[in-house]
A and B are shown apart, each in its own frame.
Chain A
């Protein structure tokens, strides 16, 4: 097997699996703070029960995020040693800051949030929830800063020994790519949280079990969903796309399946890119739209793949095309569903409209797919560079780690993560089937403590 490909799959598999958990952690953390705020401001105990219910799911989700996150921090060194060695002076910084500023914060307050409710005042407990939320969002920021530097390197210089180092700390943290990517990514995490919360709410309402709590979940989930689904497209997605078109034209051309440069470039809604013939099979296109989306005028010329040397085409090209289209297609669907649901909520009809509750209940896996596809768009779009324009991915991996060893550990991770998936599904299923009517005993008798 090809060593480069294997190392790429190794990282891709472990990061994709890992990110299934933090996206819910970050989205849910915000929604739990919202639930707790409403509970205090409106003195509504049911919102507290709702917060407690979601805290249980949050705890398991957080644990899996933590344990699958540990390998990520070490994998730069194990599988991408040459990349790590040359760029550690830059991206080592945000990675270390994540540990120092976020993990310590989260670990200190998660236990208090999960098990300290009886001991703390309502606002004290609210503060612990808020600090957990803050920790998880800070963590996301430093990871995005790391990724943004790989996408769009700024504020660096090359030392005589070939190593990169930061020239401006604030320049690194305020990389425009990072700010745009962060807002787009966090909005995506809220979408996951909102859809998961709405799905459980729709389930309870449809099943007529805990319908009052179900209605709370739907109310909060649909409102958060409507807001985040809109911001996902405008302004964050729009900004991201236009900025990317300037900085990574090859990636955008490949995402859109634009093989030849043209004025009034069309947008391909669907189709199968044919890399050999450089065409789109079975295309479903709308003329001029791509030019308009990027430049605001239908006559602007959009650079196609023909202007990019063949050895700088992102690969695998077709996977990039599909990832982008899946993300964008699902994003459009999300806006439609959430706008509709929000409208019905406003008219007071949502809880009886089975025809919209069903899609809300069944749609919860889709944001996971959309977020994953979005990340695949970003990461495949960056290829063939590990640091855009500076270091090729083929130079970055650990040459001393044989394919036999990397396949061994890849299979090991796959096996271990299969077991984790089963545990996660069983435990979350139990929580959902027990439901949210939990008395206020911070830890049911006999349950130790544990924080995540």
Chain B
């Protein structure tokens, strides 16, 4: 049961990163790619009808994490207290920036929310990347299962690290670049003409940075957590995962060159998903490793909810997910095709 729920929660988080990832990417890029008001509106329209639904994956994974692994939810959320609160504030700002921009047709008003959209999207990407890096590096969990991390200490990896150190900052930068690429490729799918060209161009340039960071991330992760590769060594067949990461990266640039935007975007989705799966494989069965010794690790076993909870949960969860996937297919079908400035955003 623990194995099942570990991967169900992981799958929900992957869905969140892949889906809301392009919203964040559009937020990061829109200041630089749009040359005028029309293009800016067009870019917002590419995510308008979907961003809220995408964000729900975060809410739903948070709730699922809560009931499947209460100890992890309690320990991690209180331990990353400050960072989590900042993420909440950024999510509030991001939502308002997208929705309120068009409420008042005034240059200053719009510019303010444009800036806020960039600021919140960029920092959210960085914080999400840093969060994953924190989980890989581990946190100073005490014997009672709790910990508290300040935002930063000496920027070093150690027994008493901060939320930000060189490794987690690297994770943040990497997420920033990866989601920017992801957003650029999504824009290439949803727009036409000049804007589409610029999006492809941005994707192509950022791809180089992403390649470098991806290659660096492997040794860096092994420095941060030496036993990250244990599962891989025990089951060498799993080394196919890093190989697939590389393949999906190469796929991105190959399809950008061919102007096959949908395929390039699909490769980017695969890249994000496989990176996360790779990290999850490295962690399993740990959910949150401790820097204070393996005895304090939060694992699938010691964090798992009671058997009846999980059994019943599986039934309604599967049913609910079927419904949710149905809604998503419906919404994305309604919204398929390129966006344009006339109509509601549901027309093309």
Instruction: Give the interface of A toward B (CB within 8 A).
Output: 59-60, 63, 66-68, 70-71, 73-74, 76-79, 81-82, 84-93, 95-101, 103-105, 107-112, 115-116, 118-119, 157, 159, 163-167, 169, 398-402, 405, 408-409, 412-413, 416, 420, 423, 427, 430, 442-443, 445-452
From B68, B75, B145, B345, contact of A448 by CB (8 A) = B345
Known pairs A107-B52, A448-B345; list 12 more (Cβ under 8 Å).
Answer: A73-B66, A84-B77, A96-B313, A100-B316, A100-B323, A101-B323, A107-B55, A166-B306, A166-B309, A398-B81, A443-B344, A450-B44
Query: Which B46-86 residues have a C-beta within 8 angstroms of A?
Result: 48-49, 52-53, 55-56, 59-60, 62-64, 66-71, 73-79, 81-82, 84-85
Question: Dominant SS at the B interface?
Answer: helix
Could you list 5 A-B pairs, sorted by A, with CB under 8 Å?
A60-B99, A63-B100, A84-B77, A118-B344, A430-B104
Residues of B within 8 A of A448 (CB): 41-42, 44-45, 48, 102, 345
If the complex has contacts A398-B78, A416-B92, A452-B99, are A112 and B327 also in contact, measured as CB distance less than 8 A? no
If the complex has contacts A112-B346, A116-B346, are A400 and B78 also in contact, measured as CB distance less than 8 A? yes
Residues of B within 8 A of A71 (CB): 85, 88, 92
Cα separation A108 to B328 with both chains bound (whole Å): 7
Query: Which B295-335 residues have a C-beta within 8 angstroms of A?
Result: 305-309, 312-313, 316-317, 320-321, 323-324, 327-328, 330-331, 334
From A60, A78, A108, contact of B81 by CB (8 A) = A78
Cα separation A67 to B74 with both chains bound (whole Å): 22
- Let me know if B67 and A78 touch, CB within 8 A: no
From A98, A163, A412, A446, contact of B70 by CB (8 A) = A163
- Let me know if B77 and A159 touch, CB within 8 A: no
Cα separation A99 to B77 with both chains bound (whole Å): 18
Nearest 7 CB-CB pairs, A to B?
A88-B70, A92-B67, A77-B77, A165-B306, A96-B63, A449-B48, A449-B345
The answer, yes or no, to whether B91 is at the interface (CB within 8 Å) is: yes
Residues of B within 8 A of A85 (CB): 70-71, 73-75, 145
From A66, A101, A442, contact of B320 by CB (8 A) = A101
The answer, yes or no, to whether B232 is at the interface (CB within 8 Å) is: no
- Let me know if B66 and A84 touch, CB within 8 A: yes
Q: Closest CB of chain B to A131's CB: distance in Å?
A: 10
Q: Closest CB of chain A to B181's CB: distance in Å?
A: 23
Using a Cβ–Cβ cut-off of 8 Å, how many residues does chain B contribute to the interface with A? Answer: 75
Q: Closest CB of chain B to A341's CB: distance in Å?
A: 32
From B78, B89, B341, contact of A81 by CB (8 A) = B78
From A104, A159, A165, contact of B323 by CB (8 A) = A104
- Let me know if B60 and A74 touch, CB within 8 A: no
From B85, B96, B307, contact of A420 by CB (8 A) = B96
Residues of B within 8 A of A163 (CB): 70, 305-306
- Let me know if A95 and B66 touch, CB within 8 A: yes
Residues of A within 8 A of B69 (CB): 88
Cα separation A256 to B202 with both chains bound (whole Å): 67
- Let me know if B316 and A97 touch, CB within 8 A: yes
Cα separation A450 to B103 with both chains bound (whole Å): 10
User: Which of chain A's residues has its CB closest to B346's CB?
Assistant: A116
User: Which of chain B's residues has its CB closest to A101's CB?
Assistant: B320
Residues of A within 8 A of B100 (CB): 60, 63, 423, 427
The answer, yes or no, to whether B119 is at the interface (CB within 8 Å) is: no
- Let me know if B59 and A70 touch, CB within 8 A: yes
User: Which of chain B's residues has its CB closest to A157's CB?
Assistant: B306
If the complex has contacts A74-B88, A103-B59, A430-B104, are A67 and B96 also in contact, measured as CB distance less than 8 A? yes
Q: Closest CB of chain B to A356's CB: distance in Å?
A: 33
The answer, yes or no, to whether B147 is at the interface (CB within 8 Å) is: yes
Cα separation A413 to B89 with both chains bound (whole Å): 8
Cα separation A110 to B145 with both chains bound (whole Å): 41
The answer, yes or no, to whether B343 is at the interface (CB within 8 Å) is: yes
Cα separation A177 to B2 with both chains bound (whole Å): 32
- Let me know if B73 and A84 touch, CB within 8 A: yes
If the complex has contacts A70-B59, A108-B331, A111-B346, are A79 and B78 also in contact, measured as CB distance less than 8 A? yes
Q: Closest CB of chain B to A171's CB: distance in Å?
A: 11
If the complex has contacts A93-B313, A95-B63, are A86 and B70 also in contact, measured as CB distance less than 8 A? yes
User: Which of chain B's residues has its CB closest to A120's CB?
Assistant: B346
- Let me know if A105 and B345 touch, CB within 8 A: no
Q: Closest CB of chain A to B260's CB: distance in Å?
A: 27
If the complex has contacts A100-B63, A104-B323, A167-B308, are A67 and B95 also in contact, measured as CB distance less than 8 A? yes
Cα separation A405 to B95 with both chains bound (whole Å): 25
From B52, B306, B313, B330, contact of A452 by CB (8 A) = B52
